[in-house]
Amino acid sequence: MERLTLNSFVNIIVNMKTVLQIKLLPDETQHAALKDTMRVFNEACNHIAEVAFREQCASKFVLQKLVYDEVRKRFGLSAQLTIRAIAKVVEAYKRDKSKPCFFKPTGAVVYDQRILSFKGLEAASILTLQGRLSIAMQMGDYQRLQFGRGHGQADLVRVDGVFYLLLVIETPTAPPIDPNGFIGVDLGIVQIASDSDGGSFSGEAVENVRRRYHTLRKDLQSCGSRSARRHLQRIRRNEARFRRNQNHVISKKLVEKAKDTERGIALENLRYIRERTTVRKPDRAKHSGWSFFQLQSFIEYKAKLNGIPVQYVDPRHTSRQCAACGHTEKANRKTQSRFQCVSCGHVANADKNAAMNIAARANVN
């Protein structure tokens, strides 16, 4: 998802595409209008999808001739929303021509500059079945800063009854640095992330939240009512949001450290995770794998924006190997936190030792 532009000298400027999620604050009437528009837009998409499938047609131009007038009349969609619906169907149909595509009533509505515009940072002017509505937006500092990079193309989505605009923005990345070695990052539960300098991010807060939600979830699951189910959904969302925030904080600090010391970042290739047999294995299973993937992907994109190289290494035996002499034996790992080499006597914090091995493996490459 990146565009390369070569400038006249040696620097390569890469624009990275990221998505800005902007919360809309519609009043009651506006909320109903957005909901209606979304439902009808997707109904129209389903109708167009049937025609596309029946006619085996993946051409926007041809499909438009076939359905445009009918869709406008039958669904009351504006000209531009009809065009967007056709485009959405063509895109989906091209991906899978084996059956008519189906769109949920809450599927995204695609907006472009003709039907969506912004009034500063305060409001979006959005075309609905009730005409154009000026709807208040809620933005944080980061979003305000990045907002200008959007191109007026956005998806309107609805998540748990809340409407958002997903705005694609292009952020220029820094030219890659020539690193002075690597910072190794070891992932775990007791310490979510430990680096090869001895820095670490405790998993305690995350673990506490997880445990609290786990108990709550059990209580609610045994209950089984509709409100319990809804409550469960909210809990899952809160837990995910908490982890996401945590991952943002950790990745930001690690990338800042790498930038300050002009080093690259070495990460574990998580594909090997299942092959690992360390004392942390039961812990790892407990933690869902996706949050490690999420942390790594946050590190990777923040590193990219700052020109910091990221390398993935084979993490096998990193927790049993001595970072000082290279001797690898299970007995080196004395406890969860303590490493003592049976060959050379090197003593270290076990996570730091593992992170140093990860850094060393990146240096070799």
Residues that bind Zn ion (CB under 5 A): 322, 324-325, 327, 341, 343-344, 346
Smallest gap from residue 346 Cβ to Zn ion (A) = 4
158: nearest Cα among 104, 198, 117 = 104
Q: Which two tokens stand for residue 121?
A: 């940072």
Smallest gap from residue 324 Cβ to Zn ion (A) = 5
Smallest gap from residue 328 Cβ to Zn ion (A) = 9
Q: Please, which residue, 110 or 341, has the CB nearer to Zn ion?
A: 341
Cα separations in angstroms, 96 against 109, 217, 288, 323: 20, 38, 31, 50
Report the distance separating Cα 20 and Cα 354, nearest Å.
36
Q: Please, which residue, 249 or 344, has the CB nearer to Zn ion?
A: 344
Cα separations in angstroms, 211 against 155, 206, 241, 282, 290: 36, 9, 15, 15, 18
Q: Please, which residue, 249 or 347, has the CB nearer to Zn ion?
A: 347
Coil, strand, or helix at residue 330? helix
Smallest gap from residue 200 Cβ to Zn ion (A) = 22
Q: Please, which residue, 124 or 341, has the CB nearer to Zn ion?
A: 341
Task: Return all residues near 182 (Cβ < 8 A) that are at least 6 apart.
Answer: 196, 263, 264, 265, 266, 311, 359, 362, 363
Q: Which two tokens stand for residue 289?
A: 């794998």
Coil, strand, or helix at residue 114? coil
Q: Please, which residue, 175 or 345, has the CB nearer to Zn ion?
A: 345
Report the distance separating Cα 134 and Cα 141, nearest Å.
22
Smallest gap from residue 214 Cβ to Zn ion (A) = 39
Cα separations in angstroms, 83 against 63, 103, 114: 10, 16, 11
- Would you say 17 and 169 are in contact if contact means Cβ atoms under 8 Å apart? yes
The CA-based angle 29-31-32, given to 5 degrees, is 65
Report the distance separating Cα 243 and Cα 292, nearest Å.
10
**Bridging pattern class, strands 264-268 and 182-187:** parallel
Smallest gap from residue 331 Cβ to Zn ion (A) = 12
DSSP 320: T
Report the distance separating Cα 313 and Cα 311, nearest Å.
6
Coil, strand, or helix at residue 314? coil
Q: Please, which residue, 140 or 345, has the CB nearer to Zn ion?
A: 345
Give φ, ψ of 176 to 5 degrees: -65, 140
Smallest gap from residue 13 Cβ to Zn ion (A) = 45
Smallest gap from residue 360 Cβ to Zn ion (A) = 13
Q: Please, which residue, 257 or 327, has the CB nearer to Zn ion?
A: 327
Coil, strand, or helix at residue 56? coil
Q: Please, which residue, 8 or 335, has the CB nearer to Zn ion?
A: 335
Smallest gap from residue 319 Cβ to Zn ion (A) = 14
Q: Please, which residue, 294 or 319, has the CB nearer to Zn ion?
A: 319
